Amino acid sequence: MAIMMPASDQAVLDRRDAIVAALRAIVPGEGVIDTPAEMLPYESDGLMAYRQPPMVVVLPDTTEQVSKVLKYCSEQGIKVVPRGSGTSLSGGALPLADGVLLGLGKFKRIREIDFDNRVVVTEPGVTNLAISQAVAHAGFYYAPDPSSQIACSIGGNVAENSGGVHCLKYGMTTNNVLGCEIVLMSGEILRIGGKSAENAGYDLMGIITGSEGLLGVITEITVRILQKPETARALMVGFAEVEAAGECVARIIGAGIIPGGMEMMDKPAIHAAEAFVHAGYPLDVEALLIIELDGPSIEVDELIKRVEAIAQGCGSVTCQISTSETERNLFWAGRKAAFPAVGRISPDYLCMDGTIPRGALPKALTRIRELSEKYGLGVANVFHAGDGNLHPLILYDANKPGEMDRAEAFGADILRCCVELGGVLTGEHGVGVEKRDLMPEMFSEIDLNQQQRLKCAFDAQGLLNPGKVFPTLHRCAELGRVHVHGGKLAFPDIPRF
C-alpha cells in the first residue's frame, strides 16, 4: 500500500474483546461482526488495490443505535469508518485496523414519497436506482446517476457528492438534496434542512454533501425528484481527430445548448467497448462523441438538427442519430460498459477522475499520451466532455513487479496535469485515500487548514474516518489558534474615507 494510514492505537486493539462486547450491547444479534472470515467483504471498497480488515464491523439499524455506537466510540477514543454500499472508487470506506467499520446497509427503507413537494425522504442504505424506481410510476426520477447506480447507496452519494452522465444538465448530488438527519461523532442527532428549497442559517447540508464521511453519519436524506423528460434521443458522432471533437463540444455549449449528457471516448476506449458490447461504434475514428438531448420531442428534434450541423462544421466523419429507445440505449451500452470492457483487455486498470476546463481537452490528451509512453503503460480515455470530467483508465498488470506502482505514479502525473491546466484533482470520485497525498498540488497549507478547522467543528477529536482527504492531520487546538500579527496597530497603509 503506497499510502500510509494513521498509526494503529495499540491500547484500543488490546481492548478489542471489551469493545466488541460493548458494541453487542448496543447492536444485538448479527449486527456486530468480528470474525476474520465474516469481515472479509468489508476489507475494501471500489478501490480494490487497497485492503485492510477493520477491528470490528457494526451494522446498526436505527438512528438510536448509530448514536450510541458513536457516543461510545467517542468516549473510548475509537476511530470509526462509515460505509454505505462500498462502491467508492477513492477508498472512502477503507477500514482502519483499530477502527470500527460502521455499515449503513440496514437502513434500506424509503420513508416517505411526497409528490406534491417533489421530494423523497429515504434512509441512506437505499440504492440510487431504487429511489428512481420507487417514483417511476408517477413519471418522476432522481436525477444524479453515477455508473454504479444499481449498487451505490444514496448515503454514499451524499458523502461523495456523486455525479453521473447527466449532471451537466441536472447537477450533482449537492444540487439535488434538501435535508438530512445526521449523527455527529459525539452521538448528537441533528436534523438539517427538510422539504424547503433552502435551510435556515448556514448551508450545513451543502458542507455535509461531499464531506466523504468525515463530518458525521447520515441516517436519513431528503432528495428532490424531477419529472422525466418526455423523450430523449442521442447522436453518436465520430471524428478523425480528438481536437475536432473537443471543438465540437465547445461549439455546442457556445451555441447555448446544454445536452442531457455529452460523453467522449478515445480510440482505445472505443475499441474495448465495441469488442465487449457490439454497439456498432465506428472503429476507424480517433474520438467518438455521444450527445443526448432530452425534453419534448419537438425540442429534441430541433436540437438534434442544430447539433448535427455543428458536428459537421467541426469535420465529423460519422454521425448516427437514434430513432428508437433501443438504438439510444445501444449507443450508451458501450459507454456505460467502458470500465468492464477495459477490464477484459487488461488484467488490471486504474480509473482516474480529474476535471479540466473543456477547452484544455486536446492538451490534456496529448499530455496523457506522452505520459503513457514515458511509463510504458496503455491508457484508454472516457470523458464526461460536457463538464470537463476526464476518466483515463490506466492499464497494468498487478502480477508484474512494479507495474502497480508505475500505474499509480502515471495516474498522479495525470492529476497534476489537470491542476496545471486549470482543473481539479477529482470531479466526482472523491479524494479518499487515493488522492489524499496529492491535495497539496491544488491547495496550500492555509487552504487545507481552513478545511480541517471545519472538520473540528463537527468532530473535535478527529475520530471519524481519519486518514482520508487530508495528507497531514493537525490537532484542533493547534488549528484554532489565532496568531496576532503586529500587536495593537491601527489599520496600516489603506486608503480611508
| C-alpha pair distances (Å), 249 with each of 283, 316, 336 | 21, 12, 20
> Is 210 one of the binding residues for another protein (CB under 8 A)?
yes
Q: How far apart are CA 86 and CA 64, in angstroms?
A: 23
One residue of 24, 108, 118, 406 binding another protein per CB under 8 A: 118
* Nearest C-alpha neighbor of 210 from the set 161, 173, 172, 171: 161
One residue of 14, 38, 112, 302 binding another protein per CB under 8 A: 302
Angle CA 471–475–477, to nearest 5: 145
Shortest CB 41 distance to another protein, Å: 26
> Is 427 one of the binding residues for another protein (CB under 8 A)?
yes
One residue of 125, 144, 388, 466 binding another protein per CB under 8 A: 388
Three cell numbers written together for 171:
447537477
One residue of 188, 284, 370, 478 binding another protein per CB under 8 A: 188
Shortest CB 439 distance to another protein, Å: 7
Largest CA distance in the chain: 73
Shortest CB 369 distance to another protein, Å: 22
Long-range contacts of 193-201 (CB under 8 A, 24+ apart): 193/222, 194/222, 195/114, 195/117, 195/119, 195/222
Amino acid at 389: N
> Is 203 one of the binding residues for another protein (CB under 8 A)?
yes
One residue of 280, 295, 343, 378 binding another protein per CB under 8 A: 295
One residue of 365, 394, 439, 463 binding another protein per CB under 8 A: 439
CB 291 within 8 A of CB 384: no
> Is 398 one of the binding residues for another protein (CB under 8 A)?
no
From 44-52, 275-283, 319-327, 380-388, give the range in contact with another protein by CB under 8 A: 380-388
List alpha helices for 337-393, DSSP H.
338-345, 361-375
Residues numbered 226 to 255 that lie near another protein (CB under 8 A) are 227-230, 250-251, 253-254
Residues numbered 251 to 290 that lie near another protein (CB under 8 A) are 251, 253-254, 256-258
Residue 14 or 230 with smaller CB distance to another protein: 230
Q: How far apart are CA 42 and CA 100, in angstroms?
A: 11
Three cell numbers written together for 451:
478545511
Q: How far apart are CA 155 and CA 213, in angstroms?
A: 10
Pattern 456-495, another protein, x by CB under 8 A: xxx----------x----------x-xxxxxxxxxxxxxx
Residues numbered 127 to 166 that lie near another protein (CB under 8 A) are 139, 160-161, 163
Residues numbered 355 to 374 that lie near another protein (CB under 8 A) are 355-359
> Is 304 one of the binding residues for another protein (CB under 8 A)?
no
Shortest CB 417 distance to another protein, Å: 14
Residue 72 or 458 with smaller CB distance to another protein: 458
Q: How far apart are CA 367 and CA 168, in angstroms?
A: 25
One residue of 2, 21, 25, 190 binding another protein per CB under 8 A: 190
Q: Is 286 left (phi over 0), alpha (psi -120 to 50) or beta?
A: alpha
Angle CA 51–57–58, to nearest 5: 150
List alpha helices for 136-241, DSSP H.
154-160, 167-170, 204-208
Give the residue carrying C-alpha cell 478489542: 16
Residue 393 or 431 with smaller CB distance to another protein: 431
One residue of 46, 334, 411, 430 binding another protein per CB under 8 A: 430
> Is 63 one of the binding residues for another protein (CB under 8 A)?
no
What φ, ψ does residue 172 adopt, rounded to 5°?
Answer: -95, -170
Shortest CB 484 distance to another protein, Å: 5
CB 470 within 8 A of CB 436: yes
From 101-109, 327-335, 404-412, 442-450, give the range in contact with another protein by CB under 8 A: 442-450
